[in-house]
Amino acid sequence: MAEREFDYVVVGGGTAGCAVAARLSEDPDVSVCLIEAGPSDVGDDQILDLSRWMELLESGYDWDYPIEPQASGNSYMRHARAKVLGGCSSHNSAIAFWAPKENLDDWAAGGATGWSAEECYPFYRKLETALDTTEEAEAPGRGTDGPVTIRTVGDQDPCGEALLAACEQVGLPTTPFNTGRTVLRGANWFQVNAKPDGSRSSASVAYIHPNLDRPNLTLMTGYRAEKLNLDTSGPRPRATGARLRTPDTRHAIDVTARREVVLSAGAIDGPKLLMLSGIGPAAHLREVGVEVVVDAPGVGENLQDHPEGLVQWEALQPMPTASTQWWQIGIFAGSEGRTTPDLMFHYGSVPFDMNIVRYGYPTADNTFCLTPNVTGAQSKGTVRLSTRDYHDKPKVDPQYFTHEHDREVMIRGIRVAREIAAAPALKEWVGKELAPGEQDSTDEELFEYIRKTHNTVYHPSCTVKMGADSDDMAPVDAQLRVKGVDGLRVADGSIMPDLITVNPCITTMMIGERCADFIRNPR
C-alpha cells in the first residue's frame, strides 16, 4: 500500500478546502496535501466560463444526490454537489454576498464564540478584491487585494431594467448590496465572484491556480476518500490522515497528517465521511454496521436549505441571448418587523422548467421567471448513511415544508412575484403566466403547486454545526475542532449553526480563511 506523509491533509478541494490549503501553504516550513475526488478545472472552459453553469447540473461534474421521499415537498428533486476542483464555487452561479451582520451575531450568541460580524468581516475583506461597488458610511469596508474578484453584474438586459423599475413601483427600491447594511426590502443587480471577462473567480481559480508551483502544496485530484484514519490507541482518538481510492485501482492509498486533518467535503459528503469513520450517532452507525469511535449525535442532523419556488411568464419581447450567468437580479421582500428578510427572489432570464414539465405545465423558449425562496426555513432534515460502503450515496432528507412557517413564506412569495409582474413598468414584457398559472389563486392551490414543483437554491448546510462545548448536538467547537477527536477540524458550509439569509458561497470561503487562521494562530 502506497503511503504519503504531510503536515496537513485537507480532504475536499471545494469552496472552503481550497482556501484552507492555500493559506496553510503560505508557510514554506509546512507541507500541505489537498485532496479532491473530482478532476482539475484548470483550462476547462465548461467550468471556468460562468455563463455555462447550468450545463453542469446532472453532468459528470455533479454528484447528483436524490433526496428521500418528501411528505410535504418535491420528492423528485435532486441536490447538485460539485465533483471538481473548487467544489460548488466551480459549479454554481457565483452570486456573491457577505452574510448579514445579524446572522453572524446570532451564531456567536448561540455558542459559536468568536464568529460575530465584527470578528468575521475582516476575513471577508481578506479574501476579496471588490470591483465597482457602492460604499456607504456604515459599510464594513470592502477588500481590495484578496484573491477573489467580486464585481457587479453589468448585463444589457432590458427586461431586467424593467423589472427593477417594477420593483420600485411596488415598494422594493433599487438598493446597493454588500455595503454593510442588511437589505430588508429592495432589489438590484447581483454581485458575482467573477472576472470582468466572464470567467469564474472560484475558490480554485483564486486560491489554487496561482499556487500550483508551490513546492510544499501537493494537489491530488481524482482521489476519493473512503474514510478518515483514526488512531484509537491513546486516551482519545486522533485523526492521522485519510484512506483514498481512485476509480481505476483496487489499491488504497493512505495519506498521513503529522499535525492535522481538515475535512472540507461539504454538508452532504462531510457527515457521510465522518460517519463512515465511526464519528456520528451511535445507534445509526451500529444499524449500518460501522464501528463507533465517537458517539456524536449531531453529525448529519440540522440539515438546512433555501427551498425555491417558481413563477414563470412568457415574455412579450425577445429575451437576451447572452448573459453573465442568466440569474442577474436579486429581490428581498422581508416581512414587517424583521431585521433580516424572510423572502428572496432570483430573476432568471431563461426558461426554468425542470420541475414543472412532468406535471404538464406549459413552457416556452422565450420566458423569464422569479424564484421566491425561503431565506430562514424552519424545516430541518438529516443526512444518513445508506450502507457502510463509501461508494453508496447517503440518504438526504431535507424534510421540506414540514414547518408551517416555510409554507406561509413561499405562498406569500408567489403573491409578491405576481404583484411585481403586474406593475406598469413590466406591461410590455409580461405575457401568459405559465406556472403556476392564473387558475391557482387560493393558498391551498398555491401550496399544492409548490409542494409538487419546488426546487432548491442548492444551499444544503449546517449538518456538522459548530457550537458551545456544552452543546451535545454541535459536533465541532468554535475553532472547528471535532469534539472528542484530536487533530481533526471541519471547514465548510456544514459547520454553520444556521444557514445564512443569502447565497452562502463567499461565507464558505470565509470559513476556510478562518480555519487556516485558527491553525496558524492557536488561541
CATH of the domain at 166: 3.30.410.40
Per annotation, catalytic residue among 91, 306, 454, 459: 459
How many angstroms separate the CA atoms of 41 and 47, rounded? 6
Strands 128-130, 327-333: pairing is: unpaired
Q: Are residues 316 and 290 in the same domain?
A: no
Q: How far, in Å, are 227, 230, 231, 482 from residue 261 at the CA level?
A: 12, 10, 13, 10
At which residue does the C-alpha cell 485537507 appear? 10
- Assess whether 405 carries a catalytic annotation: no
Q: How far apart are CA 93 and CA 81, in angstroms?
A: 13
Query: Is residue 195 in a domain?
Result: no
Helix ranges (H only) for 265-357 are 266-276, 282-288
For 155-233, where are the alpha helices, taking DSSP H only? 158-169, 203
Containing domain of residue 103, as a range?
1-150+202-304+385-397+461-523
The answer to whether position 194 is within a domain reads: no
Q: Is residue 356 part of a domain?
A: yes
Place of cell 406598469: 424
The single-letter DSSP state of residue 124 is H
Looking at the domain assignment, is residue 347 inside a domain?
A: yes
Which of 453, 479, 494 delimits the end of a domain?
A: 453
Note the Cα 324 to chain centre separation in Å.
20
Query: Both 141 and 161 in a single domain?
Result: no
Calculate ∠ Cα 503-507-508, nearest 5°.
Answer: 100
* 59 and 110 belong to one structural domain: yes
Do 456 and 77 form a contact (C-beta atoms < 8 A)?
A: yes
Identity of the amino acid at 305: D
Same domain (yes/no): 333, 258: no
Is 350 found in the same domain as 299? no
Place of cell 425577445: 318
SS3 track for 333-379: ECCCCCCCCCEEEEEECCCCCCCCHHHCCCCCCCEEEEEEEECCCCC
Q: What is the count of structural domains for the chain?
A: 2
pLDDT of residue 137: 54
Residues 356 and 487 grouped into a single domain: no
Of 409, 433, 453, the domain-final residue: 453
Q: Is the pTM of this model over 0.85?
A: yes
Give CA–CA dist 265/403, Å, rounded.
Answer: 28
pLDDT score recorded for residue 135 = 64
Residue 219 lies in a domain: yes
Q: How far apart are alpha carbons 58 and 224 in whole angstroms?
A: 19
Angle between the 404-421 and 158-169 helix axes, to the nearest 10 degrees? 110
The gap between the terminal CA atoms of the chain, to the nearest Å, is 37
Residue 443: left if φ>0, alpha if ψ -120 to 50, beta else—which one?
alpha
**Cα–Cα distance for residue pair 469/5, rounded to 1 Å:** 31
Asked if the structure places residue 197 within a domain, the reply is no
CATH of the domain at 65: 3.50.50.60
Asked whether the beta carbons of 352 and 371 are under 8 A apart, the reply is: yes
pLDDT of residue 1: 43
C-alpha dist (Å) from residue 117 to 98, 102, 498? 10, 8, 14
| Mean pLDDT (10-residue bins), the chain, 523 residues | 84 98 98 98 97 93 97 97 97 97 98 98 97 69 95 91 98 95 96 96 98 97 97 97 86 94 98 98 98 98 98 98 95 93 97 94 96 98 97 97 98 98 98 97 98 98 98 98 98 98 98 98 88
